[in-house]
Structure 1
Amino acid sequence: MVTLNASDGCRVHYETEGEGAPLVLIPGLGGDGRFWAAAAAHLRDRFRLIIVDHRGAGRSDRPIGPYSIGRIARDIIEILDAEGIGRAHFVGHSTGGTVVQTLALDAPDRVERIVISGSWAAPDARFRLLFLARLALLERNQPEIYQAFTHVLGYSGEWLSAHEAELAAAVEGAPVALAPLEVTAARIRMLLDFDRSAELARIAAPTLVIGAREDEMVPLSHSEQITGLIPSARLEVVSGAHFFPRTEPADYAVRIRDFLFADPCTPSSLART
């Protein structure tokens, strides 16, 4: 485990494991890199993984104040600098996918190939309604209901049944895990502020977009929109609900490996600075 002292003083937690081409894994709104544990087990033999906790979540500092996707992207560039990595592959799920879009737009010289899964280019009316409802639960001091709502939207009925005790414990622990609620609320607001859709045509990096048919959190139509806006993008549709990297990690990892190792990009092209 490593801590980056970011340029504004925030301590950002990240981990490195494995050997090979550098691959940064960026989690969703929960912001905890442990989301990637199952998928990372299928990737560490071929990649040098850099697994990030967002500022304001996981094991990173949680300063009070405004949050933005751009600031999280900047943290990741600072992590690459600290690790001596010039260029890397990036995989981002959900909110992590907006961070990857931002990196590809604002730091193209640091980006090799990108994977954007379960994400969106801009909030639409449904997205705003859903996330404003989630925000209202936090503003009304209802973290347990917020977490239960997240589970219902994020997992299939079969997964919920098979992991009932584990998910019940997460609901019980939500007041601590989401604290301070003011910070988690600010992180939801940053999603409502994100819209780089008019710029996505500038992304030149080879791009894989993955969307799930049963995703009720971020419907497949958002992945289809991203694919249409990025010239180099291709879409793969998978089964499952929103948290499919966690529930179907082997399939997810195979798709990533196949895409990242496809010609003409090879691990040898990813040089350290």
Structure 2
Amino acid sequence: MPIVSVSDGCRVTYDVSGQGEALLLIPGLGGAASFWNDIVPLLTDHFRVIAFDHRGTGRSDRPEGAYSISRIAADAIAILDAENIGSAHVVGHSTGGMVAQYIALDAPERVKTLVISGSWEKPDARFVAMFEARLAVLREAGPRVYQKLTHAIGFPARFLEQNRELLQRAVDNAAAALSPLSVAQARIEMLLTDERSEDLARIVAPTLVIGATDDALIPFSHSQELAAAIPDARLAVIDGAHFFPRVHPADYAGMVRQFLEERHE
């Protein structure tokens, strides 16, 4: 469990496994590297896979104050520096996809290829309404209700039915995972303002955008907009609602692997 102390003193925890070219996995708003637990074993035969807990989540420090996508992107680059990695394949889901965009824009030399899944190009009116509502639920109804709502919006009905115990554990652990609430709230608030949509045409890394047609949290139209804005980006379609990497880990890992292998042909 390596830990890097970044420029402002925050300690960010990450995991490394496998051999080969570096592959950085960036989780979404939940921020925990464990989001990728079912994906990592499917990629470690060919890649040195790195997954980290965002600042404010998981095993990393949870400093009070404002949060930003650019700060999380800088943390990710600090991890690459700590591991002596000049450039990596970068995969980001949801909020992690926004972090991946910032890395590709601000440190293009660090990104071999870019995979952005279940993410967005900018917060439109629907997005703002959705995340303002989620923020209100967290503040007024508390972590357990917030987590239940996240599951209901983010997973297909069949997955919810088949994984009741797994998801109940997440609800039971919500108070700890989202503590302190001021930090969890600050992390949601950053999503309402942070975006680089006007800069996306400057991304030079070969890019794959993956979106789910049944994503009720981040509609598929955002993936379409991303793919249209990033030069020569490829758009791939899947189902499985917003958390489709957890619903279809083998399919997701296969999409990532195929794209990376094609880029080396």
| TM-score class normalised by the smaller sequence | over 0.9
Question: For the Cα contact (< 8 Å) 1:204–1:232, is it kept in 2?
Answer: no
Residue 20 (structure 2) pairs with residue 20 (structure 1): yes
Corresponding residue SS for 1:122 = coil
Q: Answer whether contact 1:208 1:234 (CA < 8 A) is retained.
A: yes
- What residue number does 2:240 align with? 240
Structure 2 CA distance for partners of 1:197 and 1:9, relative to 1, 3 Å:
same
Take 1:20 and 1:189, find their aligned partners in 2: how far apart are those partners? 37
CA distance in 2 between counterparts of 1:93 and 1:206 reads 17
CA deviation profile, 1:10-47 (whole Å, cap 9, x unmatched): 01000100000100000000000000010111101110
The residue that corresponds to 2:201 in the other structure is 201
Residue 43 (structure 2) pairs with residue 68 (structure 1): no
Task: Measure, in 2, the Cα distance between the counterparts of 1:175 and 1:205.
Answer: 39
Distance in 2, matches of 1:83 and 1:25, equals 14
Rounded Cα–Cα distance in structure 2 between residues aligned with 1:17 and 1:67: 28
Aligned residues: 265
Cα separation, 2, equivalents of 1:38 and 1:11: 25
Give 1:177 deviation, angstroms.
1.4
Separation (CA, whole Å) in 1 of partners of 2:204 and 2:165: 44
Q: Does 2:130 match 1:130?
A: yes
Aligned twin of 2:142:
142
Cα deviation 1:61-107 (Å, max 9, x = unaligned): 00101000000000011111111000111000000000000000000
Aligned amino acid, residue 85 of structure 2 = I
Aligned to 1:116: 116
CA positional deviation for 1:172: 2.1
Indicate conservation of the 8 Å contact 1:141/1:181, yes or no.
Answer: no
Displacement of 1:141: 5.2
Distance 2:88 2:101 in 1: 14
Deviates more, 1:215-224 or 1:161-170: 161-170
Using structure 1 for the length normalisation, give the TM-score: 0.95
Structure 1 unpaired stretches of 5+ = 267-273
Indicate yes or no: 2:172 matched with 1:168.
Answer: no
Which position in structure 1 is the counterpart of 2:102? 102
Matched residues in 1 for 2:7 and 2:169: separation? Answer: 36
Residue 162 of structure 2 aligns with an amino acid whose one-letter code is A
Shift of 1:153: 0.9
Q: Which runs of 5+ in 2 are unaligned?
A: none
SS in structure 2 of the partner of residue 140 of structure 1: helix
Equivalent residue number for residue 32 of structure 1: 32
- Corresponding residue for 2:187? 187
Runs of 4+ in 1 over 3 A off after TM superposition: none
* Deviating more after overlay: 166-175 vs 236-245: 166-175
Alignment of 1:214-229 (within 5 A): 214-229=214-229
- The alignment's C-alpha RMSD in Å is 0.9
Residue 138 (structure 1) shift = 2.1
Cα separation, 1, equivalents of 2:40 and 2:53? 14
Secondary structure (helix, strand or coil) at the match of 2:38 reads: helix
Provide the rounded CA distance (Å) in 2 between the counterparts of 1:175 and 1:110: 36
What TM-score do the two structures reach when normalised by structure 2?
Answer: 0.98
Give distance in 2, aligned partners of 1:9 and 1:74.
Answer: 13
Structure 2 Cα separation of the partners of residues 175 and 256 of structure 1:
33
Other structure's SS at 2:37 match: helix
- Per the alignment, residue 270 of structure 1 pairs with none
